[in-house]
Every structure is written in structure tokens, then in C-alpha cells.
Structure 1
């Protein structure tokens, strides 16, 4: 079944095969690539969605991220872990936001820090892991 908009035909909901399966991305991509979806209707980038959060479209294509982003928020978590760890929201260069972990001392990760993907799937938590690109300038008061 297709939805028709003008002269363009678009697949109906449920036809976005491989949306949550990174294995269906281009086979030339490495296993540690971070894949995301982009809406073919409005161009919105999103991470692991079945429908576009902007237009509710289901016509999504899988793309590979370049792996760079900026920390938008970071929290130190002490629960259910032998050592403190950080949980961060990373805004990727392509425009989507992903939850993951940034390597380094948990209290040393701050909003605005630039990061690069280290591994797309942490073996323990299954979330992306990032590393700091550079030491940000911190004013001492």
C-alpha cells in the first residue's frame, strides 16, 4: 500500500525495513558505524525511530553518521555500577541526538565538549561510546 502526495508515491507504515537494524546499512560500512534515520518527507534526522518525530512520516532511509558531535548534557551516575560513570546526550553533526557514554573522568565531561565516536555499541550497555576530541578551554575563577 502507498500513500500518495501529488505525483510521488511513498511506502506505507511498516515498510521501513532495517530502521532499527544497523546490519541493513551499506555493507561497506564498518561494524562500528553509528547509523541513524533521515525522513524522506521533511529531512529530519533521528536515532532509532520508526516514525519521524516532526511529520510522523514512515518513509525513512538509513544513513551513516560521520561520528562527531557535541555534548549537550552529561550526568554522573553512581547507581547499579561499581564505579561512577557518565550518561551523556550527544548532538551529532547530522542533527540527531543520541544517549551514550563519554570516556574519561565522569566529572570532567561538560556541555559543549566536542566528541568523536569510539564504538557504536558498548558491549555492556549497548549504547554508543565517545571520546573527547580536544580539551576544552576552562576559565579558572
Structure 2
């Protein structure tokens, strides 16, 4: 059974900002919010808190904080990073942060660059401002 409030892919789904139905900007990250308890989540069929199925699709502002980042060397010709980003709306999404692999750390503020990487189909982020770090 298809539920119209569930976005099946980032950047594709029902519009919530008054644009034509079924389309959204390619750089928009869509997520769901439970109508019952208000929990924000990414790509879920049921709310993880109350198990409600009445989910509303919303567009994210696109800013967040890196909570965890790791470098992956398998199944790819070059090393790449995979990061968990906590978005301002309260949900966490797995994606890639652009930049040098050793320069991405927990606590870095990021902004959405592309809602869907063409190869991995994950959101791509860029660092907003690099904090001062002491390398001693």
C-alpha cells in the first residue's frame, strides 16, 4: 500500500511549498514528520517513536552538523567519506561531505550541496565554515 506522505527518494515526492505537485527543486532534501508526535525522520514507513503511519513530507532547510565521519576504502577506486549528519529539523541522514578526507570532523557545520549524488544516491554536503583547530 502506497502512502502519499512518504518520499521514496530524496528530491522526489509531493511538493509542500506550493510548487507543482510531484516536483521539487533538485537541491531539496525531503524528510517526513509524524502527524501524531511531531518526530522528524528520513526515509521511514512508520514513526520510530509512536509507530504512527500518518507522515507528512517536508523540505529541509539543508543545514546540519556532522555527528560522525569515516573514510571508506572498499568498493570504490578512491577513498571516500561517509558521514552521519544531524539536520536542523532533528533527523539524521547518511551522506558525503565534500572536502579533504582528513579535514572532516564531528561538530563541523555543513550545508546541503546536492540532494542526491548520481552514483551513491545519497545527499552531498559542503562544510559551511571550518572551525579553528589546534594541531599540536
**TM-score normalised to the size of structure 1?**
0.86
For 1:48 and 1:107, the matched residues in 2 are separated by: 29
For 2:29 and 2:62, the matched residues in 1 are separated by: 7
Gaps of 5+ in 1: 1-13
Deviation at 1:16, TM superposition (A): 2.7
Structure number with greater Rg is: 1
Aligned to 1:110: 105
Aligned to 2:13: 23
For 2:101 and 2:48, the matched residues in 1 are separated by: 31
**Helix, strand or coil at the partner of 2:102:** helix
**Helix, strand or coil at the partner of 2:13:** helix
| Length, aligned pairs only | 128
Gaps of 5+ in 2: none
For 2:13 and 2:25, the matched residues in 1 are separated by: 10
**TM-score normalised to the size of structure 2?**
0.89
Pick one of 47, 52, 62 that aligns with 1:52.
47
Is 1:33 equivalent to 2:33 in the alignment? no
Deviation at 1:83, TM superposition (A): 1.0
Taking only aligned residues, the RMSD between alpha carbons, in angstroms, comes to 1.4
Does the aligned pair in 2 maintain the 1:25–1:35 contact within 8 Å? no
1:92-119 CA-partner distances (Å, limit 9, x unpaired): 0000000000001111100000000000
Q: Describe the shift of the 1:15–1:80 C-alpha distance in structure 2 as closer, same or farther (beyond 3 A).
A: closer
- In the TM superposition, structure 1's runs of 4+ consecutive aligned residues that sit over 2 Å from their partners are 20-23, 25-29
